[in-house]
Amino acid sequence: MPSWLGGEQEPTLLVTADQVVSYRGTIREKPTSQEQCREFLKSYADEPAVTVSSLVVTNTATGRQAVVRSTQRVEVTMGVSLVSPLLFGLHAVGVGGAVQGTDIAKQHFLPLPVHVIDQLVADPLMMSTAGAFRIESGSVPLREPRICCCLALTDDKHPPATCCPCRGDEAVPWAPRGRRELYPGPAAAAALPAAGRSPGWHASRRRCRRTRVRLMLDVQTKLMLHTRYCTDAKNRLQVLFKLAVARRDGVRLRLALANEALSAYRAAQRELGQVGKLVLLVAGTRRMMIASGLVSRLLVSARPQVNAGRLTLLASRVSSRALASMAAIFSGPRRLWLNTVWSADSGASGDGASASAS
Amino acid sequence: MASIQMPAYRLVLGSSSRWRRQVLSRTGLPFAVAVADIDEAAVTTPGGALGDRARSDPTQLSQAIARAKADALLPRVSSVRSPARSWRAPAVGPI
């Protein structure tokens, strides 16, 4: 009996794992230079990287090994949902069974902005990872389980973290109270998210790749244009508008803000080089006419984006009449996909409700 | 429905990945960590055409490396510092 086997020792389950990266049928090794690292990162926009992950559980009492397979392919590769298959594998090894297999997942990337690649290349950890492929990089996290591009027009009372699709442990850091910036005007706002030019854009150190712009649009009403987005395996861009303005603000101001948000949205699309999914969120607008007017105006302004993809409408703190009014806009001949979500903070209903028209 | 009672096991994670460590921590199971110091680039598979590792089958290669890590760690497993308590798998139904 080999020395490491059992004996009087308590049996041990040893878990080892490895992931290799394959690109166009070729195994990618660790980059040998920063130039190669940069080349690798750029190439993933052309074709997805294929990650192949194996998890081996070894029972030291018996020497039996099993390769654990999971049905949650992408999550396992990311290491997120490794728990369940691991437990299953532990049981399988412990009781004498064996599960064979390896998880294979394709990782789709948007074209990475130049400044993100620069930041990644500068990270020494990237040189020690095969294919310069490191989801768990601490410097520039590249993925999040869901897409989120968020353009939020809101005020201090309604932070977008309460409605943003990527809420959770990545709560949006909100501007401290009392912060004041002068409204730079429509022209400056329209040019705001241009890639590499605005100092306001920066890669977050949080889990998802995220860039954001904050702009105080109006000093007196504390309105803000808040922009952020991140990408995921689906390779799609999603935009969320949140319109939550104080009741005293007029319709004209809201529409002006909506147009500013659309400008930022288009700029974000230019940076990412693709047409994304548009999510329109109307919050805190109890007056039916305002809500429907906003939606109509936004649909006209965003028609190219809307026609190119699907539109999701999220409604929060909106009266049932306003919601019905907005839904009516989508149920016409526009043939748009609509998903309305009655959020938990809605006064009328605490349950989620959805409607779709296609 | 019969259930299966597992014996008590120590759990050792043979990986330096911080992420995998976090994931395993979420199970609440006590485990120790050991890192296999192997040259992954030296691991080849029979399918690799004449030693051309870049053309290896990625599935076989990843399994081979994971097994090589396990083989490298096995002699050291008994000396790995044990967690505070061993883990006894809960009774489960037929797998």
pLDDT bucket at A269, cuts 50 / 70 / 90: low
H or E element at residue A188: helix A186-190
Q: Does residue B16 fall inside a structural domain?
A: yes
Which of A6-10, A62-66, A67-71, A326-330 has the highest average model confidence (pLDDT)? A62-66
Are A88 and B62 a contacting pair at CB < 8 A?
no
Residue of B nearest to A57 (CA): B70
Q: Does residue B28 fall inside a structural domain?
A: yes
- Chain A closest-CA separation from residue B87 CA (Å): 10
A18, A65, A104, best to mutate vs chain B, most B CBs in 10 Å: A18
pLDDT bucket at A301, cuts 50 / 70 / 90: low
Q: What pLDDT was estimated at residue A4?
A: 41
Distance between CA atoms of A240 and A264, rounded to whole angstroms?
11
Q: For residues A333 and A348, which has the higher predicted lDDT (pLDDT)?
A: A333
Q: Does residue B2 fall inside a structural domain?
A: no
Beta-carbon contacts of A237 under 8 Å, excluding residues fewer than 6 positions away, are: A110, A147, A149, A229, A231, A268, A269, A272, A274, A275, A276, A277
Residue of A nearest to B56 (CA): A27
Mean pLDDT for all residues in chain B = 71
Q: Does residue B94 fall inside a structural domain?
A: no
pLDDT tens column, A144-184: 322 233 333 333 343 433 333 333 323 233 222 222 222 22
A218 beta partners: A223
Mean pLDDT for all residues in chain A = 50
Q: Does residue B27 fall inside a structural domain?
A: yes
| Closest residue to A94, CB basis, from B19, B55, B89 | B89
CATH number of the domain at B65, please: 3.90.950.10
Residue of A nearest to B92 (CA): A91
Q: Above 60 in pLDDT, residue B30?
A: yes
Q: Above 60 in pLDDT, residue A91?
A: no
Q: What pLDDT was estimated at residue A314?
A: 52
Q: What pLDDT was estimated at residue A243?
A: 43
| Closest residue to B67, CB basis, from A19, A65, A80 | A65
Residue of A nearest to B41 (CA): A29
Domain range A13-132, CATH class: alpha beta
* Ordered DSSP codes for A78-121: HTSS-HHHHHHHHHHHHHT------EEEEE--PPPPHHHHHHHH
Q: Does residue B46 fall inside a structural domain?
A: yes
Q: What pLDDT was estimated at residue B8?
A: 64
Contact residues on chain B for A54, CB-CB shorter than 8 A = 59, 62-63, 65-66
Could you list the residue range(s) of the whole structural domain that residue B44 is in?
A: 8-85
Model ipTM over 0.85: no
Q: Above 70 in pLDDT, residue A44?
A: yes
Average pLDDT for A332-351? 30
Q: What pLDDT was estimated at residue A51?
A: 77
pLDDT tens column, A59-69: 777 666 655 54
Give yes or no for B91 touching A (CB within 8 A). no
Q: Does residue B20 fall inside a structural domain?
A: yes
Q: Does residue B22 fall inside a structural domain?
A: yes
Distance between CA atoms of A147 and A155, rounded to whole angstroms?
24
| Closest residue to A91, CB basis, from B10, B22, B89 | B89
Contact residues on chain A for B24, CB-CB shorter than 8 A = 15, 82-83, 86
Give yes or no for B10 touching A (CB within 8 A). yes
Number of domains observed in the structure of chain B? 1
Residue of B nearest to A77 (CA): B20
- For residue A78, CA distances in Å to A104, A119, A123, A325, B22 come to 11, 21, 19, 42, 12
pLDDT tens column, B58-83: 888 888 888 888 888 888 876 655 55
